[in-house]
Structure 1
């Protein structure tokens, strides 16, 4: 009886690994939770100011459990540095966006190469809810040679509201509505792009505008508007496994 209970309980616990490693670009340690033993790598960005445990605590990982346990995907929940960048109101706007550039360099030059080696892939997937969706899409469009799948859920993409009127090249090249009309890469046309929102999501218009921009450029993508729901986790938990299933 005890052995049967142990096996049942073990099945309930999804394999989780905590990693902390030093980023040379950020000059600090950064945390990441990993779910699954093998599968296609998908990096999940947290919402505004969120941490690596957010997707687990709000049951987004649980929603994807069948795909993780089947070895279809391996999920990497990375910490954000929003408190030092976009949401760092105590810092000058130029410093905020520069800190985000350091984060982008950490992702492209440290994290992604590590995942490419670990999972034996050329490209990865990225995903995020709300502000995490901005991070996912911005990273994918800045580095299309590194990303094959991008899933956004309830996201907005114009970051000019975070820089108090300041504008420089760093702002421009991290603001997808600005740089994407002029961006060109064959990798855009190979990318699996899903933009998810809900009928009553206050970010719906932003998501629809991004969809229109991509359509104007002839970039294939899917705009998924759920008929009910708003800007909240129950909608995102419904979307996430559906989107992962397209990998």
Structure 2
């Protein structure tokens, strides 16, 4: 399984973004790290190894970009500026990074996957850009960023908070996206997933709410989920 380290300069962010890529061809799968995780987290935690079979056979090519959560959601700055920095990251993805991997693979769309708070990164991007995303895999994902705003709210908050903007969303590609919300009975994000599933259900957006057994919000659960979800592609 070929592993490639690159640094992608982003004009929107004004600095390089570190990326690990696994495989040489296949459907592009972008995996976002957890809260303050880095681009190498999926590798170090065994997530890439868990889907080695699919990568080696060219079914998927995996891209692991670094996050900027430490400079946005977790930075000691005003919530308005947290949102602005996140939007810069979204523009990096939508206007710089994703067009490049769409071009390289020739598919025209990508799959996004996020773990824990990375589930917010994956779902927010997918739901904001449904014309770019065909599959969304949320592993114990989060869907509400109000706790980072401390009462502050504006249009940027609305359009980057899936629990708020999705009830009003009407892009036709949302109904074609393959969506999996993975959680478990002992998952600290169980309630959030149940509530977000209800939002999708009220809009008749097809999705699979996968509630597993008595497994905690941790890597053993996600290592079980990821190969299953990738196999569905």
TM-score (norm 2): 0.99
C-alpha separation between the residues in 2 aligned to 1:226 and 1:73?
Answer: 25
Please state if 1:30 is matched with 2:30: no
Gaps of 5+ in 2: none
C-alpha separation between the residues in 1 aligned to 2:8 and 2:208?
Answer: 35
**C-alpha displacement of 1:100:** 0.1
Query: Which residue number in structure 2 is paired with residue 221 of structure 1?
Result: 207
Query: Which residue number in structure 2 is paired with residue 106 of structure 1?
Result: 92
Query: Which residue number in structure 2 is paired with residue 3 of structure 1?
Result: none
Give 1:65's match in structure 2, choosing from 33, 41, 52: 52
Q: Which has the larger radius of gyration?
A: 1
C-alpha separation between the residues in 1 aligned to 2:50 and 2:212?
Answer: 17
Give 1:79's match in structure 2, choosing from 37, 48, 66: 66
C-alpha separation between the residues in 2 aligned to 1:168 and 1:124?
Answer: 29
**C-alpha displacement of 1:21:** 1.6
Query: Which residue number in structure 1 is paired with residue 176 of structure 2?
Result: 190
**C-alpha displacement of 1:192:** 0.4
C-alpha separation between the residues in 2 aligned to 1:215 and 1:186?
Answer: 15
Gaps of 5+ in 1: 1-13
C-alpha separation between the residues in 1 aligned to 2:140 and 2:74?
Answer: 19
Matches within 5 A, 1:162-241: 162-241=148-227
Task: Output one character per residue of 1:177-210: Cα deviation in whole Å (capped at 9) or x when no partner.
Answer: 0000001011011100000001100100001111
Matches within 5 A, 1:43-62: 43-62=30-49
Q: Partner of 1:227: helix, strand, or coil?
A: strand
C-alpha separation between the residues in 2 aligned to 1:26 and 1:50?
Answer: 18
**C-alpha displacement of 1:228:** 2.4
Q: Partner of 2:188: helix, strand, or coil?
A: coil
Task: Output one character per residue of 1:38-88: Cα deviation in whole Å (capped at 9) or x when no partner.
Answer: 110000000001110000000000101111111110000010000111111
C-alpha separation between the residues in 1 aligned to 2:118 and 2:79?
Answer: 20
Query: 4+ runs of 1 displaced by more than 6 Å?
Result: none
Give 2:118's match in structure 1, choosing from 132, 146, 149: 132
Please state if 1:244 is matched with 2:230: yes
Task: Output one character per residue of 1:209-234: Cα deviation in whole Å (capped at 9) or x when no partner.
Answer: 11110000000000001112110001
* Number of equivalent positions: 233
Q: Partner of 1:158: helix, strand, or coil?
A: coil
